[in-house]
Structure 1
């Protein structure tokens, strides 16, 4: 589930730093009439298309041997390293929808060492699909680029939607808002106009012992109609154990909202079948950091997992960079939502020019009843920011065996915060330290936890009223020292609690749970933390 591509550079590549050149357009191929949507692009013959026929195709393919996407000239693609790939730039005069009434032009990514699998990309018009035929003249590239030696019709690695041509805020030639690139990964801009974490079409056996994780690919993409602020895309997904048909309706607003319908057909048995998976990076934060491991105070795309359970509970699980692979499961029935959030929005907490403080939060809103299952959180150890080491997904309780069919619908919200505020106080920081009371000798083997809460009913507490802390630990026992106080920063509703845990033996993780209440009424979300003794 990790990727070793330079994510800092990739975020810039997917963002605002590319200056695209302009060249003259090409005529349509073969003398066939060009679609109004695609002047200058070479197109294949028209063929009928509908989402129902795509699902039927996926169902049929599930009973056939896996073939997978084409990898043209793999040795040649290996020579297109990241530097060479970065010098290959799509010429925006060839952009799909660069002309005509549709607002959002589409540009394309080139194949290379890190993106070797070609995806067939089609344009839809009047219920017909025509393939967009790769031609090297669509791209600006150095004269000695190895990409010039690729065979005819080699294909594209992916695509992206540029900002609206009529935007008063962005230049569409230089700014995009959603990108599909690599396997079934996709990204979108959040409210703060920055790329960050990724979504995936599906997750197959992530972090399962004795099994290799599979990364199914979007092998065919159909770029469909646009209406107002929305675009429609269809995708055929294929892997050794799965075939699927996916529909995306993506809307550009303050952030990005995606309505997604999925139909999956299993070729083989899957142990951890991940629906609506989100993939992010967490290296370190104020919670824990190795001494002098990096000059920055924090480095992460997301700092926690938020959950809204079927029974109405609001949970917050701070992320970890664990000593080894950890998988946590939070059982639920018909969850109301979950997401990987970036709550820390203070630039001085990162002091980095790639703007971790602006990375989007991504929330999954299920549609309909998802039934019984669990939200799975997988955390891998990492020693750098170039690795995506966090995955969260919904794993249905129903067995994922060969011949099974699954249908799921949900909405993805790429925003600055979760889209459905609870009204409860939020957890905004988790800090660890040596146990005991300040100014006195610190007892050995005691760990202190400090949790900060902000907002909700805490902002309206009468003077002299303190909330009550409820805290539990799965191992060891709570120490004598506890403290609840308003943080002395003059921010209304900003409180912190401290408590000690003692008697922890061994290095197995410790599960902690805490929240604030007034009387019998909870006034904060539930903090759930996995502590790794060291």
Structure 2
């Protein structure tokens, strides 16, 4: 909505018998500023989605103020292991003993979490702020903060009976900037998501919005979902968010957002996900590790608006790589962990095989834009070096609210999948000189019968260099189909590879895309 009003006037010169007079332009009427929205940070204030929207709109109409908060001396420099020794007192858990199926643990400020957040319950439609107090915590090996000062909170963790009916365990966490994570039954935390991405990979640097306040609706007894509202703020944008989270075999998170820009936003990432890829069978150059694979996700899956399924294996490049895939009205995308089972990873500590895939279904038409993938070099598995999101083509302008919605699935495998054949593994190795040998395995109904292998044609192409020695054959070990080929990059440093299985009836299953770099 455009909140600026324009007053037009006219000046007319009228010749009068007695002389010349000048007509006066109408004077603009004094505008009464709209009343401020209700303070939904105050105890007892009615809370609603409309009230949060008005709060975000009002916030965007003012200049940005960086968050101010008190961290006790030394808490910003706490070592990670000392910070992690701070524990919520079990008896202080929100909804503890209320038999609501959910409990909340608040999280302390300190370490890298230096921007305080405010947290409130919404009970019977009214706000009940949680105190910023050290009384929530047992400080373990950390120094106890001064008792006469507020102690900042940095987020919260949601617990529910995810795996056992008699045990509430963590399934949802919001902490740091706009970062949140969830898991499904039997999983452990892995990939992360963010509420918004701004200027990722741009030369001017990325801007990191913050969730300043959370309002969490007190669930009814027997509820199967928890509802979280959040106020986003950043130098150039404010926003209102609603998350509806349903834990289970697949943990579903419905996200609704409305943004109000302070300045034009040209590079916005919607549905941003972050993960880690250190090495795998397609990228083990220079690796000397007892583990076979190390990653929280091994590929980007895209379901385009024209019904093409695309699988793009991840890699750990030597230089920052940005890949862009244009589309209109996408049907889904996500960072997936397809490789399951302990043996490929051989890591009892990390258990990458139990980390979730994250799949996003757009709600409504998203219009024209692009999937964007960033792969950042890393030499350690503690860095999240992979970022993926949808970038709308249309910029977000001040005075024009921007709304989108989507459904996230934190899962073992997405509910949507390509028919016919999907990529199950990608391997690569030296073929002499600069040449590389690739082996890509597919599995699915269309390739399960070995008798049909003769009718399948692998179509392999490259943007530079050449493809040679293409072999396609049945893989009885996987009840699937294997394609092997050699890339000769010649003098090129980057080659975009594409592989499609074809038959007389047309394309079979997923399109495999890969970026090879020196």
Scaled by the length of structure 1, what TM-score is found? 0.85
1:378 corresponds to 2:378: no
Q: Which sections of structure 2, spanning at least 5 residues, go unmatched?
A: 1-40
The corresponding residue for 2:187 is 193
Answer yes or no: is the 8 Å Cα contact 1:191–1:416 preserved in 2.
no
* Residue 457 to residue 506, structure 1, CA distance change in 2 (3 Å): closer
Q: Which has the higher strand share?
A: 2
Alignment of 1:199-238 (within 5 A): 199-209=193-203, 211-227=204-220, 228-238=223-233
The corresponding residue for 1:482 is 470
Q: Following TM superposition, by how much is the alpha carbon of 1:359 offset from its aligned partner in structure 2, in angstroms?
A: 0.8
1:390 corresponds to 2:375: no
Q: State how many pairs are aligned.
A: 475
Q: Following TM superposition, by how much is the alpha carbon of 1:303 offset from its aligned partner in structure 2, in angstroms?
A: 0.2
Aligned to 1:286, the other structure's residue is in SS state coil
The corresponding residue for 2:132 is 134
Give the Cα separation in 1 of the matches to 2:228 and 2:180: 12
Give per-residue Cα distances to partners, 1:273-331, cap 9 Å, x unaligned. 10110111111101111334432111100000000001100000001111111111111
* Residue 73 to residue 397, structure 1, CA distance change in 2 (3 Å): same
Q: Following TM superposition, by how much is the alpha carbon of 1:500 offset from its aligned partner in structure 2, in angstroms?
A: 1.8
Give per-residue Cα distances to partners, 1:196-221, cap 9 Å, x unaligned. 10010000111112x12111111000
1:156 corresponds to 2:142: no
Give per-residue Cα distances to partners, 1:338-388, cap 9 Å, x unaligned. 000000002111111221011100001100111111111111111101100
1:239 corresponds to 2:234: yes
Answer yes or no: is the 8 Å Cα contact 2:447–2:453 preserved in 1.
no
The corresponding residue for 2:421 is 425
The corresponding residue for 2:438 is 449
The corresponding residue for 1:3 is none
Give the Cα separation in 2 of the matches to 1:503 and 1:134: 59
Q: 1:472 aligns with which of 457, 461, 471?
A: 461
1:459 corresponds to 2:448: yes
* Residue 150 to residue 319, structure 1, CA distance change in 2 (3 Å): farther
Q: Which structure is larger by alpha-carbon Rg, 1 or 2?
A: 2
Aligned to 2:149, the other structure's residue is in SS state coil
The corresponding residue for 2:256 is 261
Aligned to 2:102, the other structure's residue is in SS state coil
Q: Following TM superposition, by how much is the alpha carbon of 1:151 offset from its aligned partner in structure 2, in angstroms?
A: 5.6
Aligned to 2:395, the other structure's residue is in SS state coil
Q: Following TM superposition, by how much is the alpha carbon of 1:268 offset from its aligned partner in structure 2, in angstroms?
A: 2.3
Give the Cα separation in 2 of the matches to 1:74 and 1:139: 14
Q: Following TM superposition, by how much is the alpha carbon of 1:91 offset from its aligned partner in structure 2, in angstroms?
A: 1.0
Q: Which sections of structure 1, spanning at least 5 residues, go unmatched?
A: 1-42, 436-441
1:249 corresponds to 2:244: yes
Identify the range of structure 1 (83-92 vs 340-349) with the bigger mean alpha-carbon deviation. 83-92
Answer yes or no: is the 8 Å Cα contact 1:199–1:278 preserved in 2.
yes
The corresponding residue for 1:16 is none
Q: Following TM superposition, by how much is the alpha carbon of 1:472 offset from its aligned partner in structure 2, in angstroms?
A: 1.3
Identify the range of structure 1 (419-428 vs 524-533) with the bigger mean alpha-carbon deviation. 419-428
Give the Cα separation in 2 of the matches to 1:213 and 1:398: 19
Q: Following TM superposition, by how much is the alpha carbon of 1:147 offset from its aligned partner in structure 2, in angstroms?
A: 4.1
Q: 1:61 aligns with which of 59, 62, 77?
A: 59
Give the Cα separation in 1 of the matches to 2:166 and 2:331: 34
The corresponding residue for 1:322 is 317
Q: Following TM superposition, by how much is the alpha carbon of 1:267 offset from its aligned partner in structure 2, in angstroms?
A: 1.5
Give per-residue Cα distances to partners, 1:59-80, cap 9 Å, x unaligned. 1111211113333136432233
Answer yes or no: is the 8 Å Cα contact 2:450–2:476 preserved in 1.
no
Answer yes or no: is the 8 Å Cα contact 1:162–1:178 preserved in 2.
yes
Give per-residue Cα distances to partners, 1:379-403, cap 9 Å, x unaligned. 1111101100111111101023444
The corresponding residue for 1:516 is 501
Aligned to 2:402, the other structure's residue is in SS state strand
Answer yes or no: is the 8 Å Cα contact 1:68–1:238 preserved in 2.
no
Scaled by the length of structure 2, what TM-score is found? 0.88
Identify the range of structure 1 (517-526 vs 388-397) with the bigger mean alpha-carbon deviation. 517-526
* Residue 360 to residue 380, structure 1, CA distance change in 2 (3 Å): same
Answer yes or no: is the 8 Å Cα contact 2:425–2:440 preserved in 1.
yes
Give per-residue Cα distances to partners, 1:217-255, cap 9 Å, x unaligned. 110000114252111110001111110100011001212
Identify the range of structure 1 (234-243 vs 461-470) with the bigger mean alpha-carbon deviation. 461-470
Answer yes or no: is the 8 Å Cα contact 2:69–2:115 preserved in 1.
yes
Give the Cα separation in 2 of the matches to 1:369 and 1:229: 28
Give the Cα separation in 2 of the matches to 1:335 and 1:524: 17
Identify the range of structure 1 (409-418 vs 45-54) with the bigger mean alpha-carbon deviation. 45-54
Alignment of 1:245-324 (within 5 A): 245-324=240-319
1:77 corresponds to 2:71: no
Q: Aligned-pair RMSD on alpha carbons?
A: 1.9
Q: Following TM superposition, by how much is the alpha carbon of 1:145 offset from its aligned partner in structure 2, in angstroms?
A: 2.8
Give the Cα separation in 2 of the matches to 1:471 and 1:412: 33
The corresponding residue for 2:351 is 355
Aligned to 2:447, the other structure's residue is in SS state helix
